[in-house]
Amino acid sequence: MFDWRWEFVSDILPRLVKATGNTLLASVLGYGIAAVLGLVFALTQRTRFALVNRAVREFVEFIRSTPLVLQIFFVFYVAPQFGVMFSPWTAGMIAIGLHYASYLSEVYRAGIESVPRGQWEAATSLSLGPRRTYSRIILPQAIPTAFAGMGNYLVGILKDTPMLSVIGVAELMHTANAIGSEHYRFLEPYTLVGLIFLIISLPTAGGLRRAEVKIRKKMGLRSI
Amino acid sequence: MKISRNDYPLQLEGETIPMVRFQNVTKRYGDLVVLDSLDLDVDEGEMVTIIGPSGSGKTTVLRMLMALERIDEGVIYVEGQPMTHMARNGTMIRADNKYLRRQRLNIGMCFQHFNLFPHMTALENCIEAPVQVLGLSKDEAVARAEGLLDMVGMLEKAHEHPSRLSGGQQQRVAIARSLAMRPKVMLFDEVTSALDPEVIGEVTQVIRKLVAKHNLTMLMVTHQMGFAREISDRVCFFYDGKIEEQGAPDELFENPTRERTQQFLSAVLEAR
Amino acid sequence: MSYIEFLTSYGPQLLEGSVTTAKQTILAATLAVMIALVAGLMRLSKNRFVYGTATVYIEIFRGTSLLVQLYWIFFVLPLFGLTLEKFTAGFIAVGMNLGAYGAELVRGGILSVPRGQWEAATALSMPPGKRMRRIIFPQAFLNMLPPWGNLLIELLKGTALVALISVADLMFMARKINGTTYLSAQVFGSALIIYYLMSRGLVTPYMRWLERVMARKLGKIK
């Protein structure tokens, strides 16, 4: 149909599968950075220092309101002006990590705010300090609540990795572009890339939903 | 008459020091005065119950003593030492968080909605602070917690999460959790108000046991007049952020002298 | 070169790109709203074919990347005899992608209207179409406005990708200026600020205004 060539598909599939590895690696690395940095953003927005709160909130707001692809260019091209050369991977991970950290910080924040005030008061009345209150009482309850949002952004980051192709990270999209311009054929590479994304993201989304139910149950928390 | 800051002693001295002293304590939320220059002493081993209409500041008394919120004026002392303030260079300044955390060790509190940690089992709830704050070894903490869970009749459910326990059972675990810190003062903030009528008894039974067997100082806010009368050494009737009337339970319930007390008691007793 | 000089030299180009971005955003948003309404309502249908079609559409567009969809529409569709001009391909890809997300908002918004409202309309013998149009949808619309505000910002950000098929939007202009001047901080920084102002200075206030107007229309005090 429509001049679809299976032979060509079998030629290029190995390259695309290899590139899928890079796509997954970029997603996981980026998500790891975002998960940690996002928590930092969320917690610094809860400190007593009004100026810090404000600055972090504005920064998060700014990042969330501007396109990721532009941020990727910004990090990649602006850093050398200040004498730092980032490889495409490094620049990409910084940009995507920062971008999703901003989203995740909102998810964490909502999770923390969903913990009832009584839990803070119980921790206070038992003389638990702020660090222990967060690490042992509040976050263990906030994170399961945040889990659904965190999962959405894991799939979201996966689907945004093609933007890394613009600075030359050899992930799926970049490889498909290269194949396309080598062979002047775009039907198969672009269609395959779409299928690969579907094959990864649909089960991941379903799996995350099931994992959420399991985790909440294991922690003795009611399901939501 | 307004008392200036300097009139508060850095620590209480004398033959008989009260376990808890509220001296001229005022708490406001915006324009609303919730506690109005409150003076209240509670002696060691005494069981004091606070009753009164809603909005009269009853619960605020306990929350201020636990330093869950700041007071606007006055000082609260526990065992003669200031709780809400601390001495520095011979003057009183507002207590910092570290000082508050140390002082709160003297006090245990049980809440209307239990506030058990839902991600921990009953036993884990009871050993959390002893291990993390008091620095007990896990074995010591478990031994202590099991003894207390046994006392409140919850040892069999030690490994259940709160979501699997009834309200009465959760409240009993919460009492054990507070006692595990070996506080000198226990606060009960409407601990039976959120419970179904048929399980209130199991919680009041635990409090009775505490009064009978332990020399704890206790402050209780409750709507259960019968229980208050039976168990208290003294009952305080709060109205508009002030103690309108206080006295021995039989006295106060039989012969209230103030009109507001009479109105309140007849309204509450009639409603039953 | 000072920043003022930079702006006087390249400001007009950035402005020109911004106008294209605004056009792309408005066209894509219009398309997204229409798709979201149709697909969202189809998702509520009891007819399995209708429901299934909408589900497949939503899963495909939410399960793959906007960039993949954009390239597919621009480079692959011509092989099927459907050649779109790049400007058109751009806003169609963005609109179809965000429309799939919007469909779920429409569905959620309609489901958020209490059952009693459906029953009351039925009890008044309203036919299903009228019940939806006059009773359910106005209430659902108000409920779904806040998430639509976020979605429109995602849409505005999404239009930046059309630069990659050479639509001369803000992103495209920024890259072009960067390629000739290497003033990366100035040009990309300015572009970021313009996008920020468009999101928070135009989209967000417009959605807030719409929420207020709708709330007043429905007699809810906000």
Distance from the Cα of B253 to chain A's closest Cα (Å) equals 32
How confident is the model at residue B15, as a pLDDT? Answer: 84
Q: Any contact of A with B, at least 3 CB pairs below 8 A?
A: yes
C-beta atoms of C76 and A65 within 8 A: no
Q: Which residues of C touch chain A, with CB atoms under 8 Å apart? A: 59-60, 63-69, 71-72, 75-76, 79-80, 153, 157-158, 160-161, 163-164, 171, 174-175, 178, 184-185, 188-189, 191-192, 195-196, 199-200
Task: Tell me which chain B residues have a C-beta less than 8 angstroms from the C-beta of A126.
Answer: 104, 128-129, 133, 177-178, 181
Lowest mean pLDDT among A3-17, A175-189, C27-41, C122-136: C122-136
Confidence of residue C222 (pLDDT cuts 50, 70, 90): very low
Distance from the Cα of A135 to chain C's closest Cα (Å) equals 31
Tell me which chain B residue has its CA closest to the CA of residue A135: B132
Distance from the Cα of A222 to chain B's closest Cα (Å) equals 7
Confidence of residue A2 (pLDDT cuts 50, 70, 90): low
Considering the domain boundaries, does residue C75 fall inside one?
yes
How confident is the model at residue A223, as a pLDDT? Answer: 61
Q: Looking at the 3D structure of chain C, how many domains does it have?
A: 1
3-state secondary structure of A195: helix
How confident is the model at residue B1, as a pLDDT? Answer: 40
Q: Which residues of A touch chain B, with CB atoms under 8 Å apart? A: 116, 118-119, 121-122, 124-130, 132, 136-137, 140-141, 144, 219-222
How confident is the model at residue B117, as a pLDDT? Answer: 93
What's the CA gap between B122 and C82, in Å, rounded? 66
Optimal mutation site among C64, C162, C175, interface A, most CBs of chain A within 10 A: C64
Chains that touch C (3 or more CB pairs under 8 A): A
Confidence of residue A215 (pLDDT cuts 50, 70, 90): confident
Task: Inform me whether the C-beta atom of residue A162 falls under 8 Å from chain C C-beta atoms.
Answer: yes
Give the model confidence (pLDDT) of A96-119 as tens digits: 999 999 999 999 999 999 999 999
CATH, domain A6-218, list 1.10.3720.10, 3.10.450.100, 3.40.50.300, 3.40.50.970: 1.10.3720.10
Classify residue B89 by its DSSP letter: T
Write the DSSP string, chain C. --HHHHHHHHHHHHHHHHHHHHHHHHHHHHHHHHHHHHHHHHTT-S-HHHHHHHHHHHHHHHHS-HHHHHHIIIIIGGGGT----HHHHHHHHHHHHHHHHHHHHHHHHHHTS-HHHHHHHHHTT--HHHIIIIIIHHHHHHHHHHHHHHHHHHHHHHGGGGGGGT--SHHHHHHHHHHHH--HHHHHHHHHHHHHIIIIIIIHHHHHHHHHHHHHHTT---
In which domain, by residue range, is C90 found? 3-217
C-beta atoms of A220 and B161 within 8 A: yes
Considering the domain boundaries, does residue C122 fall inside one?
yes
How confident is the model at residue C3, as a pLDDT? Answer: 86
Considering the domain boundaries, does residue C109 fall inside one?
yes
Write the DSSP string, A20-46. HHHHHHHHHHHHHHHHHHHHHHHHHTT
Query: Can you tell me the mean pLDDT for A11-27?
Result: 94
Q: Which residues of chain B have pLDDT under 50?
A: 1-3, 5
Task: Inform me whether the C-beta atom of residue A201 falls under 8 Å from chain C C-beta atoms.
Answer: yes
CATH of the domain at C22: 1.10.3720.10
C-beta atoms of A73 and C175 within 8 A: yes
> Do residues C209 and C136 make contact, with C-beta atoms less than 8 angstroms apart?
no
Between A223 and A12, residue with greater pLDDT: A12
- Rounded to 10 deg, the angle between the A88-114 and A68-81 helix axes is 130
What's the CA gap between A176 and A16, in Å, rounded? 7
Strands, DSSP E only, in chain B? Answer: 20-29, 32-42, 47-51, 73-78, 81-82, 85-88, 91-94, 107-110, 185-189, 217-221, 234-239, 242-247
How confident is the model at residue B149, as a pLDDT? Answer: 96
Query: Can you tell me the mean pLDDT for C21-50?
Result: 95
Give the model confidence (pLDDT) of A130-184 as tens digits: 999 999 999 999 988 888 889 999 999 999 999 999 999 999 999 999 999 999 8
How confident is the model at residue A1, as a pLDDT? Answer: 52
Task: Inform me whether the C-beta atom of residue B194 falls under 8 Å from chain A C-beta atoms.
Answer: no
Neighbours of B242 (CB within 10 A): 18
The average confidence (pLDDT) of chain C is: 91
What's the CA gap between A154 and A150, in Å, rounded? 6
How confident is the model at residue B2, as a pLDDT? Answer: 45
- Hey, what are C158's tokens? 């999404």
Task: Tell me which chain C residues have a C-beta less than 8 angstroms from the C-beta of A193.
Answer: 64, 68
Task: Inform me whether the C-beta atom of residue A17 falls under 8 Å from chain C C-beta atoms.
Answer: no
Predicted confidence (pLDDT) at residue A222 exceeds the cutoff of 70:
no
What's the CA gap between A183 and A186, in Å, rounded? 8
Per the DSSP assignment, residues forming a β-bridge with B110 are B188
How confident is the model at residue C133, as a pLDDT? Answer: 86
Task: Tell me which chain C residues have a C-beta less than 8 angstroms from the C-beta of A180.
Answer: 75
> Do residues A61 and C200 make contact, with C-beta atoms less than 8 angstroms apart?
yes
C-beta atoms of A130 and B164 within 8 A: no
Beta carbons within 8 Å of A221's beta carbon, 6+ residues apart: A141, A144, B118, B119, B163
- Rounded to 10 deg, the angle between the C48-63 and C86-111 helix axes is 120
Considering the domain boundaries, does residue C80 fall inside one?
yes
Considering the domain boundaries, does residue C222 fall inside one?
no
Nearest to B45 by CA among B214, B180, B203, B189: B214
Predicted confidence (pLDDT) at residue C188 exceeds the cutoff of 60:
yes
